[in-house]
A = this chain, B = another copy of it.
């Protein structure tokens, strides 16, 4: 088992990574204070892992709240239903919420834990690659709104994250690839050696070889933990984690949430951001080719859907919440392994990149 610590002073917590952790008796004991534990999960995950988890928590009074599976259920309605359940079950300030599932479960259950009695104990058990390497780490919780993704929520840190690699076995290959988009992102924004390693080991990763999975999850978490420790509330540095996301969120919103997976949308977005970086003169053509090739290798889209118009893309980008005082903030690459935040770029260049990507 690997252990990575997210350093946030008194709110520091470990990410535990390994095979078969859900079967590991007593693993959760040091992170649960009270008697009541409510597991929030979705209908798909419940079938695979709910019994296993509950049978490992027999020292506690447990309950389960099962939400429907899909990004379209990451709503105020689901959030309110979880709160109603928790309060009717009479949780107290020492009770625990465990999110068992992917990003949707983690985000909405985390937001409910954050606001139930103004914050109760919260544990993340991410069961998708995307959730293990990204959404479960760093304390961003929340729900979507008709105006855009993740517009309502809280920064709320869990008391631990348990990434059981065995849960990746039940993931569809499309879901797995979606997670790889975030893994590749860490190479792009922070660690060119890691990017090289993913390129060199793509075959073993695709074969779900456990030591390789362990490495990509651990290295991704290390990079995210380092960035979050330096800038928890995203006043600066943390924004680089959003490489490709402003484009990606626009794609998700245009198609309707759940049509393209998050990782698919941001793959197209990262290619657009890399193209923009090339147009800015920072990245050379061969790097853009390498980046495009690696996304392709994991069957990820390298451009936005043909059905989108330029107006749609720009309009939706402008209302991504990362907009500050109405200029669209972009994350760009200074070089492979090094990203920066920019509000200062020629508007016509962005126009050109969007036009080119959509033709």
Which A residues form the contact surface with B (CB < 8 A)?
34-35, 76, 80, 83-84, 87-88, 90, 92-94, 111, 114-119, 140, 142, 145, 147-148, 150-155, 233, 319, 321-326
Contact = CB atoms under 8 A, between A and B. Distances in A.
Contacts of A117: 151-152, 321
Contacts of A322: 93
Contacts of A34: 324-325
The 3 tightest CB contacts between A and B, nearest first, are A87-B147, A117-B321, A118-B153
Given A87-B147, A87-B151, A114-B154, A119 B321 contact: no
B92 A326 contact: yes
Given A76-B83, A84-B145, A119-B233, 16 more contacts: A83-B152, A87-B148, A87-B152, A88-B147, A90-B147, A92-B325, A93-B324, A94-B324, A94-B325, A115-B152, A115-B154, A117-B152, A117-B321, A118-B155, A119-B154, A154-B154
A34 B326 CA distance: 10
Contacts of A142: 115, 118
A152 B324 CA distance: 29
A216 B92 CA distance: 34
Contacts of A153: 115, 118
Contacts of A118: 140, 142, 150, 153-155
Nearest to A33: B325
Contacts of A150: 118
B83 A145 contact: yes
Nearest to A115: B152
Contacts of A145: 83-84, 87
Given A92-B324, A94-B325, A326-B92, A76 B87 contact: no
